Amino acid sequence: MTQKTLLKLAWQSIVKNKMRTLLTMLGIVIGVGAVIVMVAVGQGAQSQIEAQISSLGTNLIVITPGSTAAGGVSQGAGTFNRLTVDDAIKLKDQATTLTGVSPVINARAVVVGPQGNWRTSINGVSTDYFTIRNWAPTSGDLFVDADLKSGRKIALIGATVARNLFPDIDPVGAEIRIGQVPFTVVGLMAPKGQNAGGQDQDDVVLMPYTTAQTRLSGNVRIGQILASTFSPGDIPAAQQEITDIMREAHRLGDNPDDFTVRNQSEIAAAATSTTSVMSGLLAAIASVSLIVGGIGIMNIMLVSVTERTREIGIRMAIGARGSDVLVQFLVESIVMSLIGGIIGLLAGYGGSLLLGSLTGWHTVVPMSAVFLAVGFSGAVGVFFGFYPARKAAGMNPIEALRYE
């Protein structure tokens, strides 16, 4: 028997029993569909987080004070346990691998505008900040180095702040007050949305760090230093260089680092590990239904073998070998489960799009899931089809012919 005739025979008996075939495939359709939807939801969540992290900036390196590993360990005399603006200036001057360095001086304060007030986060940054974070204003202009030197009282506001302080009017050129100090709004930043931690990145007022240092009262500290490299490949070298310069600047000697240097992929990995566990769990639950679908195939195939005992007898009488019958039934179950798998794939794809549009979740069907689903459903066909097929092949033709 050629492969073509085998396929033809299997196909004949598949289309001859449409209802049976449909019900058999349903289990696989649901199984594969469920796996696809679950993987799509999981992948969607993951890729959304990745997108949010890359919205932090390109080739981003974050330097924060202290380190969790050093937490609780008393620092030696003469060492610094805080980041300073000087650190940022040193990095900017000495490091060769960095394209930009910006201190981020952070404070929280009430900002008073012409139409209301709003408590928000005030960030004092350098001009590099905007290139590091890949962030541009939608109207107005960024501040320049001269503004930094003179400590001008100007501010750029995020979209959330603008919405609350200037619901009706264009904020550019308007005056706001932070504490007792009046500032001129020179630009409105493009909306960036939430970050991976769920924080609103647009709920912020940006100003030159020199201004922040001198004009803001209260708890003014440098929360972090942001830096960026030319390309992702430079990141490990840059991290090493930053560490060297920082240790030198803080005169750490043999003491452990009093700062932490992290790159974007580390941040991303931390954030995505939770979601990947979740999506793995979802896929595992969904694959249970795939196994149930496979058992459904085996069940139907066993019934089908009994029901078609006479047919098997006829085939054997006219010269079919046991292996011919085995392969025929096996091909039938594989074809059924593969078609079920492909329908399930389409159903799962449609389902994840539907789910996405209903719930607003971001869903992504990865190519690997497509291959996995189709491959797995084929394997289900082989695995659960083999026992019934072997039963058919082992029949005695005389008894099979006599079967009523």
Contact residues toward another protein (CB under 8 A) are 1-2, 5, 9, 12, 16, 310-311, 313-324, 397-398, 401
**CB 313 → another protein: shortest distance, Å?**
8
Measured CA to CA, the distance from residue 215 to residue 223 in angstroms comes to 17
**CB 265 → another protein: shortest distance, Å?**
59
Give the side-chain half-sphere CA count within 13 A for 348.
Answer: 32
Nearer to another protein, 314 or 374 (CB): 314
Which three-class secondary structure state does DSSP give residue 321?
coil
**CB 382 → another protein: shortest distance, Å?**
22
Nearer to another protein, 9 or 34 (CB): 9
Nearer to another protein, 285 or 317 (CB): 317
**CB 317 → another protein: shortest distance, Å?**
5
Which three-class secondary structure state does DSSP give residue 237?
helix
Nearer to another protein, 382 or 401 (CB): 401
**CB 319 → another protein: shortest distance, Å?**
2
**Is 6:327 a contact under the CB 8 Å cutoff?**
yes
Nearer to another protein, 215 or 315 (CB): 315
Place of tokens 């079919």: 320
Which helix (DSSP H) or strand (DSSP E) does residue 97 occupy?
Answer: none
Nearer to another protein, 12 or 81 (CB): 12
What are all long-range contacts of 19-26, with beta carbons under 8 Å and residues at least 24 apart? 20/300, 20/304, 21/336, 23/300, 24/296, 24/297, 24/300, 24/301, 24/336, 24/340, 25/336, 25/337, 25/339, 25/340, 25/343, 26/293, 26/296, 26/340
Nearer to another protein, 206 or 312 (CB): 312
> CB 278: neighbour CB atoms within 10 A?
15
**CB 344 → another protein: shortest distance, Å?**
27
| CA distance readout (Å), 110 to 116, 161, 224, 288, 289 | 10, 11, 22, 54, 54
**Is 381:338 a contact under the CB 8 Å cutoff?**
yes
Nearer to another protein, 199 or 323 (CB): 323
Which three-class secondary structure state does DSSP give residue 123?
strand
Give the side-chain half-sphere CA count within 13 A for 364.
Answer: 14
**CB 14 → another protein: shortest distance, Å?**
12
**CB 23 → another protein: shortest distance, Å?**
17
**Is 76:255 a contact under the CB 8 Å cutoff?**
yes
DSSP 218: S
Nearer to another protein, 148 or 316 (CB): 316
**CB 342 → another protein: shortest distance, Å?**
25
Measured CA to CA, the distance from residue 359 to residue 211 in angstroms comes to 44
**Is 62:265 a contact under the CB 8 Å cutoff?**
no
What is the token pair recorded at 288?
A: 């249970």
Nearer to another protein, 2 or 68 (CB): 2
**Is 60:131 a contact under the CB 8 Å cutoff?**
no
Nearer to another protein, 20 or 90 (CB): 20
The sign of the dihedral angle between the CA atoms of 30, 31, 34, 39 is negative
**CB 48 → another protein: shortest distance, Å?**
52
What is the token pair recorded at 187?
A: 């630009």
**CB 311 → another protein: shortest distance, Å?**
6
